A = this chain, B = another copy of it.
């Protein structure tokens, strides 16, 4: 029956991508029991994806912040909005029928609708450096930096929001883009600085995976979810089945259980939202990235319970830096399947790491996971 592929055949088929410096040969001759295990990238961060940097900023008294994902060159991207309370801009441009097929960056921000201004700062900064889309570049006419952006709701977290007509987000955007690099802080940082998650302090998380044949998939997320990242009655993360090493405590899965209406420690419905961006170095089309974004949102579902509810503006951006070409001869949908499944696992891990790394505010606010 030709629908049947055993585990080894499937992995071999999916893995038969010739990538820079790596061939599928090592895979095709190994017995099933020796299928090479995937591993995290060197930093276990989204910046393990070649051609990508991250910058962050935050304001401690306001309790909010901004995270910018910056590809070295304009990159193909897509997004999947799945929550009921999104705050976003430049998501329409990502639709496949539209003109511009690439983005100059992705912005994640606190501040709900006010946070959308963070991209104003990033756009002005990039435009002044002649970075952005121009159909026909002309001296004296700035290009248009394409910066899809989404925000989480951290207005009611106890920070000082008396900004009147001068919200801080434009400046926070500039500060974030000026700080870009390969390393960045997790936990109470960037877009996750002011976040809360299911009764605990939320935060900023990231993770990566490198496949046996050298593909890197990374994720970054600001976790401000209504639902919880941990199972009731303990500290174990819903994402525990996918943990690599002890990247979020290594507590295992034995206590993962929840009755139908058990959402402890607490749901905090107001306007919540988990923001995420996944990235890979494999060259992909926008349509392929759309399916990968959809599959990555399943990682959010596995890491947070409940998720994608009316109070969450959950969104996943997906981005390709295009540094590696997939091998010809393998159906592209196998590649998409494989990358979507990888992205889901990586995002689930990044969400757990956000909560694991979070530290509490100096005073007031939710307890941090580490203090449970």
Task: List A residues at the B interface (Cβ < 8 Å).
Answer: 1-7, 10-11, 14-15, 35, 37-38, 82, 84, 156-158, 196, 199, 209, 211-212, 226-227, 231, 238, 240-244, 252-270, 291, 294-295, 297-298, 301-302, 305-311, 333-334, 336-338, 340-342, 344-346, 364-366
Contacts and interface: CB of A to CB of B under 8 A. Distances in A.
Contact of A308 (B35, B298, B364): B298
Contacts of A212: 261
Contacts of A158: 1
Contact of A269 (B267, B334, B345): B334
10 contacts: A1-B158, A5-B268, A6-B266, A10-B267, A256-B256, A269-B333, A298-B298, A301-B301, A309-B336, A310-B333
B269 A294 contact: no
Given A1-B364, A241-B257, A253-B253, 19 more contacts: A3-B196, A4-B268, A10-B263, A10-B267, A14-B261, A37-B259, A209-B260, A240-B257, A243-B257, A252-B254, A256-B256, A260-B346, A267-B337, A297-B301, A301-B301, A302-B305, A305-B341, A306-B337, A306-B340
Given A5-B266, A268-B3, A291-B84, A310 B336 contact: yes
B342 A263 contact: no
Copies in the complex: 2
